[in-house]
Amino acid sequence: MIYICSDIHGLYGRYSRLLDTIRLREQDTLYVLGDMIDRGPDGIEILLDMMKHPNIVPFMGNHEHMMLMYLFGYDKNAWMLDCNGGKVTLEKFRYLSDDDKRAVLTYLNEAYILKNLEVCGRRYSLSHIGIIRSEEDLQAGFIDGTDVYMLQKMVWGMHPYGLDQISSFPEQLCPTTFLTGHIVTRRYLGSQDDDIVTADFANGCRYVDLDCGCALGENEGALACVALDEETGLIDYDGALYIR
């Protein structure tokens, strides 16, 4: 089974309950679509635990990008803004041994930006923001010569990445289902509900937002997770998990 979640935002309790609920086996894979850290207090603990599991696959979100921009001296301001919640993560990072610091940075450097899956003839595109037009998988490579500002656009959803690209997605790649996080689904729903949002397009593509609001804190939102059945290539969205 393939599991997909996003935007844990430092809430280790929800992350742990998710693992307990899905009972991840060696033959399963859990993709975490970025923003493992910040706002909640336990982002570093989440990363350290993910690093122990080769079948838990990280993606770079805008918060991991802000962390690297701060630590490598590109931007000393954005991550420290109260609204971004990086201070608690930095405090925990500073207490790590030098070896653990290097291991965390290497782990994030190798995180995915884009991962394409084809399961039983169905195409899925996984990323933090949803739309990155490429047939090739992409990894962050932050410390390997990648343009860090272009990378910033890929994890923040800045122009030219946006939902309008779904309508003009290459015909040979349609239909594709784009699984993403980044935007709390309440912004679409206009309510206090914490449900996954899906949108279908005329070319057969589908957009799915899995960010159900962990960033809102312990007593708000949910950590959503969907299961992609490798025998059918289908996701049962009605059967999605909501970990609170």
Query: Omega before 175 cis (within 30°)?
Result: yes
- Each residue of 22-47: pLDDT tens digit? 999 999 999 999 999 999 999 999 99
Q: How many CA atoms lie within 13 A of 178 on its CB side?
A: 32
pLDDT tier for residue 108 given thresholds of 50, 70 and 90 = very high
Which two structure tokens, joined as six digits, stand for 1?
A: 């089974």
Residue 104 has pLDDT above 70, yes or no: yes
Measured CA to CA in angstroms, residue 43 lies from 11, 106, 133, 222 at distances of 7, 16, 29, 16
What proportion of the chain, given as a percentage, has pLDDT over 90? 84
Across residues 64-79, what is the average pLDDT? 97
- Each residue of 127-161: pLDDT tens digit? 999 877 777 899 999 998 889 999 998 999 865 55
**CATH top-level class for 2-243?**
alpha beta
pLDDT tier for residue 91 given thresholds of 50, 70 and 90 = very high
Give residue limits of the domains in the chain. 2-243
How much is the pLDDT for 158?
62
CB 223 within 8 A of CB 33: no
Query: Omega before 160 cis (within 30°)?
Result: yes
pLDDT tier for residue 118 given thresholds of 50, 70 and 90 = very high
Q: pLDDT higher for 189 or 159?
A: 189
- Each residue of 153-187: pLDDT tens digit? 899 986 555 777 888 888 989 999 999 999 999 88
